[in-house]
Amino acid sequence: MKKVFKVVLIIIVVIVVVVGILASYIALRSIPKYTAEEIDIKVESTPARVLQGTKLASMLCRNCHYNDATQKFTGKELKEAPQFGTIHTANITQDTVAGIGKWSDGDIIYLIRTGIKPDGQYIPPYMPKLIHISDEDIYSIVAFLRSSNNWVQADNTRQPKSKPSFLTKFLITIGAAKPFDYPKEKIPASDTTDLVKWGKYISCYQLECFSCHSKDFAKNDFYTPEKSTGFFGGGNEIFNQEGKKLVTLNITMDENTGIGTWTEEQFIKAVRSGVVPNNKPALRYPMQPYSNLTDIEVKAIYVYLKTIPKLNHKVERKFD
């Protein structure tokens, strides 16, 4: 009996040592570098693309990259997801030193698709990678970044280096967070005549609404969003600029815990103006009212949400 106990004790000690070594390795390692492919693309800037790119940037890029002090996309400290570490977003103005002024169109597109910068540095999960967005939409974003919009005019403001958390490094080490593959084929624009398909494109691929409105950032499946844990069922923990914890809303059509009792008009009003049916504020930082979306675009999202499984998941909402 004593011999068995001794063997068990040795096994436990070995396991503890191995886990300790692995944890130390993860904590001390830096984010690995990768080889960035050279993508030979030159985007033609047209008024239509700049207009669409500005619209997309106002919803996709502004929250994270807009700095109130500079009034430009010079980056800032990102406090919404502290579980990923102390994060400072990049300067993406046209400055040739602090920003992306020297990057090619292909460099920008490759980063947005994969998460890999021209120098091989990988940006972990706190930056969305738009792996399903259409080529035309991504070309529009590039056209905006090259435009005369004040948000992207050259500014040499520099941000401190980010300090990824243990969770971020762990996810990268086990392969749960790694660069995405660059698409092998062109990605066409969504079929806007089919509201379900269009709504899915906007909410899952273009704006990635599911990312925040599912249960956990770390358990999102960006290749197949529907496989994300708690898909659109809410409960994901995010933080406002004061560090106060919030939880995202369940926006499945569950009548008791989701938005199943909301009408199409009420949903459109909530998304575009930030007011829910009881006339209390619905949207709180980091989510902003999507006033740039048209009524028909929000309607498409609503129609798509009616097709996904309802989740009975109560999220406590507190209004200060």
- Same domain, yes or no, for 215 and 129? no
pLDDT attached to residue 288: 81
State both tokens at 2. 């004593």
Shared domain for 166 and 51, answered yes or no, is yes
Q: Report if residue 10 sits inside a domain.
A: no
User: What residue ranges in 186-274 does DSSP mark as E strands?
Assistant: 237-239, 245-247
| 140-199 pLDDT per residue, tens | 999 999 999 999 999 999 999 888 887 777 777 656 568 889 999 999 999 999 999 999
Q: Mind listing the pLDDT tens digit for each residue in 56-70?
A: 999 999 988 999 999
Is there a single domain that holds both residue 169 and residue 63? Answer: yes
In the chain, the number of structural domains is 2
What whole-number distance in Å separates Cα of residue 161 and Cα of residue 165? 13
Specify whether 161 is located in the same domain as 58: yes
Evaluate whether residue 102 is within a structural domain: yes
Same domain, 90 and 150: yes
Q: Report if residue 27 sits inside a domain.
A: no
CA proximity to 165, closest of 31, 53, 41, 7:
31
Question: Which of 140, 173, 206 is the last residue before a domain boundary?
Answer: 173
Domain span at residue 286 reads 195-305
Residue 97 falls within a domain, yes or no? yes
Q: Are residues 234 and 276 in the same domain?
A: yes
CA 238 to chain centre: 12
Structure confidence at residue 283 (pLDDT): 66
215 inside domain: yes
For residues 291 and 208, give the distance between their C-alpha atoms in angstroms, rounded to a whole number. 17
**CATH code: domain of residue 52:** 1.10.760
Q: What is the pTM (predicted TM-score) of this model?
A: 0.85
Q: In this structure, what DSSP letter does residue 119 have? A: T
Helix (H, G, I), strand (E, B) or coil at 33: strand
28 domain residue, yes or no: no
Say if CB 81 and CB 238 are below 8 A apart.
yes
- Cα distance between residue 315 and residue 223, in whole Å: 26
The tokens of 180 are what?
């995405």
pLDDT class for 304, splitting at 50, 70, 90?
Answer: very high
Residue 295 has pLDDT above 80, yes or no: yes
CA 306 – CA 206 distance, rounded (Å): 19
* Chain segment 96-148, per-residue pLDDT in tens: 999 999 999 999 999 999 999 999 988 887 788 899 999 999 999 999 999 99
Check whether 25 has a pLDDT greater than 50: no
Nearest C-alpha neighbor of 174 from the set 29, 34, 16, 35: 29
Residue labelled with tokens 């994060």: 87
Same domain, 284 and 216: yes
Last residue of a domain, one of 173, 203, 226: 173
Based on the fold, state whether residues 225 and 151 are members of the same structural domain: no
Whether residue 13 is contained in a domain is answered as no
Same domain, 204 and 142: no
For the segment 233-279, what is each residue's pLDDT rounded down to a tens digit?
A: 999 888 776 777 888 889 999 999 999 999 999 999 999 988 888 75
Please say if the pLDDT value at position 18 is more than 70.
no
Q: Is 127 a domain residue? A: yes
- Residue 57 shares a structural domain with residue 165: yes
What confidence score (pLDDT) does residue 79 get? 79
Higher model confidence: residue 19 or residue 225? 225
- Same domain? For 224 and 283 the reply is yes
**For 77, phi and psi rounded to 5 degrees?**
-75, 130
Tell me, yes or no, whether 201 and 272 share the same domain.
yes
Residue 21: pLDDT over 60 = no
Average pLDDT, the chain: 86
Spell out the alpha helix ranges (H) of the chain: 2-28, 47-60, 62-65, 105-114, 135-145, 166-173, 195-200, 209-213, 264-273, 295-305
